[in-house]
């Protein structure tokens, strides 16, 4: 319960101390995504296409696990700020209980549906077979992912960012090291192809969970966990779902977007489907570190909101916005300076590199302005305002970009899809600012 540093430390050093471990973790996580795809691409271009087509469902599973954990994070942070230890225990315990159940249900549903899902986007039986082989193993770890995400957000809610970083890095580094060994074989270890990438991912996630549990057993996590009837307080569960469901939808919406854009792009050739898949791998280098900023500021926002330090909440928002915009500026420069080299990590095909270069330069026009939407969503989640956050994400991933992509593609072919990205970010940023002004800033002008 002694988390007063979230209210007393100067804002910039506090946000940096909470965010930098998460940014580093997200960068390594981005590297794992890139390395994973790099080695899969070395199997064949069909394997990389299969991985791109599986990604929306894989992202959906992660979205449910992370989203509900974000809801728990907001509730735990609020009750820490309000100094209510009983409700902190109940929220943390319920987070693990319900999220593990989510993982179990997703495993049972997603594995059987994959052949039909993949068949919606390609008639190539090689691609479908590779996608099914990968997803069957990757999705079997859904319960592990869900439990690990809950432990991660519990640690973050208490300000234990270095602990979270260690656990995340352990899993990611393990994954990176195991990828080439299992995919291509090494010494007595046989090559298992695309299944090796799925096994490496699952083992890395399992290792993170084991370390979290070991740290809890050693008393390093300052939250108690209990699994009895007393912790099943429905009002707390409702609060977690009120933030968690919109947060999950926020993360899952890219899956809807990618599937819709794949349908549009397929009309112009599988080349563009591959380019879209490569882009979403590369953009994790930007949006995951930006997510690290959000993860660092979210518990601070929730704690100060619970402690009624409303002026401080505003300062935290603008600090996070400046840091996120800096990350996006770096990404914009890279996409204009070396786009061919970035695409070349995943394909040696000259046509793919040419198409990918054009796509990166157009899409990157919206990177910097997107920082406003990203930080606004994170702040609103931290304040327990899940629905306004969902509205922003719906604009970014469904309501604006999909119609724009459809219309623009009729005007400029595949290039029109890429232009829809930056146009959408401008619209979403304008709406985000209006929501923040109306929902937060105009009502929270009180000094600390």
Q: What pLDDT sits at residue 383?
A: 80
Angle between helices 367-382 and 414-436 (to 10 degrees): 40
Q: What is the pLDDT of residues 342-395, one digit of tens each?
A: 998 887 888 889 999 999 999 999 999 999 999 998 888 778 777 888 889 899
Q: What pLDDT sits at residue 134?
A: 92
Q: What pLDDT sits at residue 29?
A: 67
Q: What pLDDT sits at residue 191?
A: 87
Q: What pLDDT sits at residue 4?
A: 67
In three-state secondary structure terms, 219 is coil
Share of the chain above pLDDT 70, in %: 95
Q: What pLDDT sits at residue 357?
A: 94
Q: What pLDDT sits at residue 311?
A: 79
- Domain ranges in the chain are 9-441
Q: What is the pLDDT of residues 397-426, one digit of tens each?
A: 999 999 999 999 999 999 999 999 999 999
Low-confidence ranges of the chain (pLDDT < 50): 1, 445-448
Q: What pLDDT sits at residue 30?
A: 67
Q: What pLDDT sits at residue 447?
A: 41
Alpha-carbon distance 327 to 343, whole Å? Answer: 20
Long-range contacts for 166-170 (Cβ within 8 Å, ≥24 apart)?
Answer: 166/211, 167/208, 167/211, 167/212, 167/215, 168/25, 168/28, 168/29, 168/208, 169/24, 169/25, 169/28, 170/204, 170/207, 170/208, 170/211
Please, what is the Cα angle at 215 between 209 and 218, to 5 degrees? 145
């Amino acid at each position: 319960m002694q988390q007063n540093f979230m209210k007393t430390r100067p804002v910039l050093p506090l946000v940096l101390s909470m965010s930098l471990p998460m940014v580093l973790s997200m960068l390594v996580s981005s590297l794992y995504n890139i390395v994973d795809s790099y080695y899969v691409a070395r199997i064949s271009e069909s394997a990389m296409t299969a991985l791109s087509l599986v990604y929306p469902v894989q992202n959906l599973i992660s979205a449910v696990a992370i989203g509900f954990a974000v809801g728990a994070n907001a509730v735990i942070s609020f009750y820490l700020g309000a100094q209510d230890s009983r409700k902190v225990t109940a929220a943390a315990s319920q987070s693990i209980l319900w999220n593990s159940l989510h993982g179990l249900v997703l495993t049972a549903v997603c594995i059987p549906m994959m052949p039909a899902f993949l068949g919606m986007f390609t008639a190539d039986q090689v691609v479908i077979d590779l996608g099914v082989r990968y997803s069957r193993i990757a999705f079997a770890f859904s319960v592990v992912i869900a439990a690990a995400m809950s432990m991660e957000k519990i640690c973050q809610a208490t300000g234990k960012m270095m602990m979270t970083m260690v656990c995340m890095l352990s899993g990611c580094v393990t994954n990176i090291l195991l990828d080439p060994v299992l995919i291509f074989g090494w010494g007595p270890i046989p090559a298992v192809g695309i299944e090796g990438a799925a096994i490496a991912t699952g083992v890395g996630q399992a290792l993170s969970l084991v370390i979290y549990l070991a740290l809890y057993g050693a008393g390093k996590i300052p939250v108690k966990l209990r699994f009895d009837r007393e912790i099943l307080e429905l009002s707390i569960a409702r609060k977690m779902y009120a933030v968690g469901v919109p947060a999950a939808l926020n993360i899952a919406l890219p899956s809807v977007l990618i599937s819709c854009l794949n349908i549009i792009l397929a009309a112009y050739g599988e080349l563009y489907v591959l380019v879209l898949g490569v882009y979403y791998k590369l953009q994790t280098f930007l949006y995951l570190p930006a997510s690290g900023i959000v993860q660092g500021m979210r518990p601070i926002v929730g704690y100060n909101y619970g402690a009624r330090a409303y002026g401080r909440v505003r300062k935290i928002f603008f600090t996070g916005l400046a840091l996120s915009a800096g990350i996006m500026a770096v990404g914009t420069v890279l996409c204009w300076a070396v786009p061919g080299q970035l695409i070349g990590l995943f394909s040696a095909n000259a046509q793919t590199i040419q198409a990918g270069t054009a796509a990166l330069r157009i899409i990157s026009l919206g990177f910097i302005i997107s920082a406003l939407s990203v930080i606004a969503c994170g702040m609103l989640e931290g304040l327990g305002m899940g629905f306004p956050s969902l509205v922003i994400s719906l604009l970014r991933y469904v309501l604006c970009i999909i119609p724009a992509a459809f219309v623009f593609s009729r005007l400029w072919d595949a290039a029109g899809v890429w232009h829809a990205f930056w146009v959408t970010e401008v619209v979403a940023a304008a709406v985000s600012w209006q929501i923040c002004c109306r929902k937060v800033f105009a009502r929270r002008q009180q000094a600390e």
